[in-house]
Structure 1
Amino acid sequence: MMGICCMLDMLKDMLVDINYMHWSLGFVTAEFFWDLYLILRQRRTVKENRTANEDVQKLMDEETYKKSRLYSLEKINFGILQDAYHELELLAITLTFFLAKLWNFSGKSIESLGYTDELIQSNMFLLQTTILSFVVHLPWSLYSTFVIEERHGFNKMTMGFYFKDSLKKMAVSQLITTIMVTPLIWLIKWGGDYFFIYAWGFTFLFTMAIFFVYMDFIAPLFDKYTPVPDSPLRTAIVDLAKSINFPLTKLFVVDGSKRSAHSNAFFYGFFKNKRIVLFDTLLDDTCNPMLGLDADGNKREFPGEEETVTTGKKKGCSQEEVVAVLGHELGHWYHGHVWKPMILNQFLILGMFYTFGLLVKNKKMLADFGFVEEQPTLISLLVIFQFIFSPLNRVMSAVSIYITRCFEFQADRFAVGLGKGEKLQSSLIKLVTDNLSFPMADKMFSTFNYSHPPILERIAAIKEEMAKKSKTE
């Protein structure tokens, strides 16, 4: 017992003597080099595999493989430079006590407007941070969009659309942040010893509210969601939903092609009000049920049921393949892959707010980050959740990736159970080739970075499940 008490006393002394800024930066720097090691492993995999092996040749032709390899290499090289810059930026911001200086500047800014309130200063600080971040990171975003994505045929945006879209996103994001942060800070200051319960309750209710209003009021500010009219595709999707009692109420196609040629599909909604959204880039010319753009962004009219359209190399998925993709997506719904992580996250957030309440009493912590005189609640949130909790955040990220990969395999098995195995395979292959996703991955890199299993692993698992299913029939 005496030994345990001594150990606790030593730990207490360490927490008093530790420089929280140096400790946090030490972990963040170690994390950067770990990520660099992983990405260099993947870079080596991409560089060494100049030609497709036998398994990959079943997925894509040699020309597509070379394109995906060059695209992957360019993104990796760019990502390494970008991560190195962000690491240096973080070190510079922290070591020069830039946050404290910006906080003081935000205070002077509101004083010039006749205000001295901490809540107003907190929102001014966030606004100034958002603007600075946008300006500083703009060259990286522009290069990624208008050089890399453009070079490989994915970018569909003009420069004017890009800035209009970015500024609109920044304005909406700032408004949502203000609506969330202002009551949260007030609750932390008002809540006393049990503030963590009020803070957690508020963030939970706010998150649920955003989920409810996002697709109906926020998402349409950026994209056009067109109801899928009566068509063979709509009938097939409705029949799929009915076969598993999925409460489908609305089916949309979103004009993702105005931004990018990358494709996707998802469902959303609570309780008996589920909606499905298909990106127009997911649909090939034989199943796109709307007037608009094809996967290459070309204007054309949707062909009739008996017609076909030839536009060079076919992109997107056929009707049966789209239904197979949705069979996978609805597998996530059937197995509760949305609400299970959500419940887990709520326990985690509650625990983090409770721990925040213990740490925020340590005045030395913020002093180590340059806040000697003032101890702003907003800064305490940023420092503790971004820096102090960074080891926990990293562990939870790894756990989340592992769980998500398991969910992906389970959703694939669900689609196979619906009899969609063959079409799911062909749709996944088309998505990989259309998106120029490099089909080979370093095992360690994949484990820590890919929430979706590599294509070769997924195809092998689907075939294995199909073989099991055929034996039982």
Structure 2
Amino acid sequence: MGWLDMFDNINYMHWSLGFVTAEFCWDLFLILRQRRTVKDNRTPNDDVKKLMDEETYKKARLYSLEKINFGIVKDFYHELELLGITLSFFLAKLWNFSGQSIQYLGFTDELIQSNMFLLQTTILSFVVHLPWSLYSTFVVEERHGFNKMTLGFYFKDTLKKMAVSQIITTILVTPLIWLIKWGGDYFFVYAWAFTFAFTMFIFFIYMDFIAPLFDKYTPVPESPLRTAIEDLAKSISFPLTKLYVVDGSKRSAHSNAFFYGFYKNKRIVLFDTLLDDTCNPMIGLDEDGNKRQFPAEDTTTARTTGKGKGCSQEEVVAVLGHELGHWYHGHVWKPMILNQFLILGMFYTFGILVTNKKMLADFGFVDEQPTLISLLVIFQFIFSPFNRVMSAVSVYITRCFEFQADRFAVGLGLGEKLQSSLVKLVTDNLSFPLADKLFSTFNYSHPPILERLAAIRAEMSKKSKSE
């Protein structure tokens, strides 16, 4: 008798839905705590007044409240949708429909049926969730001045993302299912090795072949900003090979910056929304990076975008000092290695659980036990408690990484400008500066701004005393 036999008397679907419902209630409890924090703090306290004026605070508060209220309604709907789909055995019905679909096309293979099932799931998900996405983009974000997309651009962009995602999913899932069926007792090793290799492959090609399908990445021309960033990279031996500006402003007014690449091929990407008019080297250039021709009497168009937001050159360098702190301390590869051990362990556990035929039967798959459905049920439902714990651990680790990256930037002498850049990012993005302690612990991978600024000031004081 196997150790799994002790669970023969439980209904795996009911157990899983019980945990998912408990998880939803916990998340609702947390978000209601944050909602109360936002609602009760109608005016800024003394610490917040140092970050933003009262008008900006009011805008940030209203933006946060609207996002929270919308999120609560949306989460309620998604919870009811998940319960309805699962309790009605909709997955089993859709699987049977996908089988009928490929039979109509003259096929009976499980691999083809699996991909048909995924395609139909993607289409249904798009249709069902479209109203929520449209409302978020064209009502919530639009009302607060962040949405920059037209309706036509939105649909073109969304459908393109769906197509690319479906292609990548097909390339991943088809060999994975085959390996699970072919691999015998050691299939979990082959499945893990394939997913690792596939992930690395996508990582290597993403910025060169996939990301340009959605955004335009323009090399930063010779400019004071480029020189300052290159000098920063050289000072810490960061192997910078390319520096880009991406036209994020065509979608949103939110700002960001990041680096990517392996070994000696590192690249930095700046969102154009991060740069203010005093340091943006792309002002006055056309889409191909060539200098525009302006009438002789027009002396302002070439120099300004008129957006009045973003960071100065020194502040952008400070932001990148923080980002390069992630590189210096190995914040990219350390979690990656940990995740590979976890994925290998999850595939091994999957191999044990998949032998329990009752599990899939409880989800409505009595006559068939398709490999794809086993993956979905076990990884999404059965592993949900483990996934939840790892999510909390990930948030904690990431917060520690953020503090460490800030300390690195302070060590480079960028503490003052890092503080001012963070303040600008908070105000430009209308981020509400106050957070419920319990809510932020489980949801904020980046520390709340007041905690972060206090830690930077403490590190600067410590650094000045040691000098």
TM-score (norm 1): 0.94
Residue-by-residue CA offset, 1:203-248 (whole Å, 9 max, x unaligned): 0000000000000000000000000000000000000000000000
- Aligned equivalents of 2:124 and 2:284: distance in 1? 37
Q: Is the 8 A contact 1:247 1:273 kept in 2?
A: yes
Give the partner amino acid of 1:434. D
Asked if residue 412 in structure 1 is aligned to residue 406 in structure 2, the reply is: yes
State the shift of 1:46 in Å.
0.2
State the shift of 1:325 in Å.
0.1
* Other-structure match for 1:51: 43
**Secondary structure, in 3 states, of the residue corresponding to 1:132?**
helix
Asked if residue 104 in structure 1 is aligned to residue 75 in structure 2, the reply is: no
State the shift of 1:293 in Å.
9.6
Give the partner amino acid of 1:359. L
Runs of 4+ in 1 over 2 A off after TM superposition: 11-14, 291-294, 306-314
**Secondary structure, in 3 states, of the residue corresponding to 1:253?**
strand
- Aligned equivalents of 2:154 and 2:5: distance in 1? 52
Q: Is the 8 A contact 2:244 2:269 kept in 1?
A: yes
Asked if residue 337 in structure 1 is aligned to residue 351 in structure 2, the reply is: no
1:454 to 1:195, Cα distance in 2 relative to 1, 3 A:
same
- Aligned equivalents of 1:400 and 1:262: distance in 2? 24
Q: Is the 8 A contact 1:280 1:293 kept in 2?
A: no
- Aligned equivalents of 2:85 and 2:165: distance in 1? 23
* Other-structure match for 1:371: 365
Residue-by-residue CA offset, 1:401-445 (whole Å, 9 max, x unaligned): 000000000000000000000000000000000000000000000
1:340-351 correspondence runs (5 A)? 340-351=334-345
* Other-structure match for 1:5: none
Q: Is the 8 A contact 1:405 1:453 kept in 2?
A: yes
1:63 to 1:293, Cα distance in 2 relative to 1, 3 A:
farther
- Aligned equivalents of 1:293 and 1:392: distance in 2? 50
Q: Is the 8 A contact 1:247 1:272 kept in 2?
A: yes
* Other-structure match for 2:230: 238
**Secondary structure, in 3 states, of the residue corresponding to 2:8?**
helix
**Secondary structure, in 3 states, of the residue corresponding to 1:17?**
coil
Residue-by-residue CA offset, 1:126-163 (whole Å, 9 max, x unaligned): 00000000000000000000000000000000000000
State the shift of 1:291 in Å.
3.5
Give the partner amino acid of 1:253. V
- Aligned equivalents of 2:231 and 2:318: distance in 1? 12
- Aligned equivalents of 1:313 and 1:83: distance in 2? 34
* Other-structure match for 1:181: 173
Q: Is the 8 A contact 2:283 2:303 kept in 1?
A: no
Give the partner amino acid of 2:425. L
1:56-205 correspondence runs (5 A)? 56-205=48-197
State the shift of 1:15 in Å.
1.0
Residue-by-residue CA offset, 1:285-304 (whole Å, 9 max, x unaligned): 0111114799xxxxx999xx
- Aligned equivalents of 2:251 and 2:309: distance in 1? 16
1:349 to 1:44, Cα distance in 2 relative to 1, 3 A:
same
Q: Is the 8 A contact 1:156 1:261 kept in 2?
A: yes
Aligned length in residues: 457
* Other-structure match for 1:3: none
Residue-by-residue CA offset, 1:345-380 (whole Å, 9 max, x unaligned): 000000000000000000000000000000000000
**Secondary structure, in 3 states, of the residue corresponding to 1:348?**
helix
1:270-309 correspondence runs (5 A)? 270-291=262-283
- Aligned equivalents of 1:258 and 1:145: distance in 2? 13
Q: Is the 8 A contact 2:315 2:420 kept in 1?
A: yes
- Aligned equivalents of 2:368 and 2:89: distance in 1? 13
* Other-structure match for 1:267: 259
The runs of 5 or more residues in structure 2 that have no matched partner are 287-291, 295-299
1:125 to 1:311, Cα distance in 2 relative to 1, 3 A:
closer
* Other-structure match for 1:35: 27
Q: Is the 8 A contact 1:285 1:308 kept in 2?
A: no
* Other-structure match for 1:459: 453
- Aligned equivalents of 2:371 and 2:408: distance in 1? 47
Residue-by-residue CA offset, 1:310-333 (whole Å, 9 max, x unaligned): 777730000000000000000000
Percent identity over the alignment? Answer: 87
Give the partner amino acid of 1:371. F
- Aligned equivalents of 2:303 and 2:58: distance in 1? 27
Q: Is the 8 A contact 1:328 1:412 kept in 2?
A: yes
**Secondary structure, in 3 states, of the residue corresponding to 2:125?**
helix
State the shift of 1:308 in Å.
10
2:391 to 397, 409, 416: 397
- Aligned equivalents of 2:306 and 2:249: distance in 1? 18
Q: Is the 8 A contact 2:146 2:254 kept in 1?
A: yes
Give the partner amino acid of 1:205. A
- Aligned equivalents of 1:252 and 1:408: distance in 2? 23
State the shift of 1:17 in Å.
1.0
* Other-structure match for 1:297: none
TM-score (norm 2): 0.96
The runs of 5 or more residues in structure 1 that have no matched partner are 1-7, 295-299
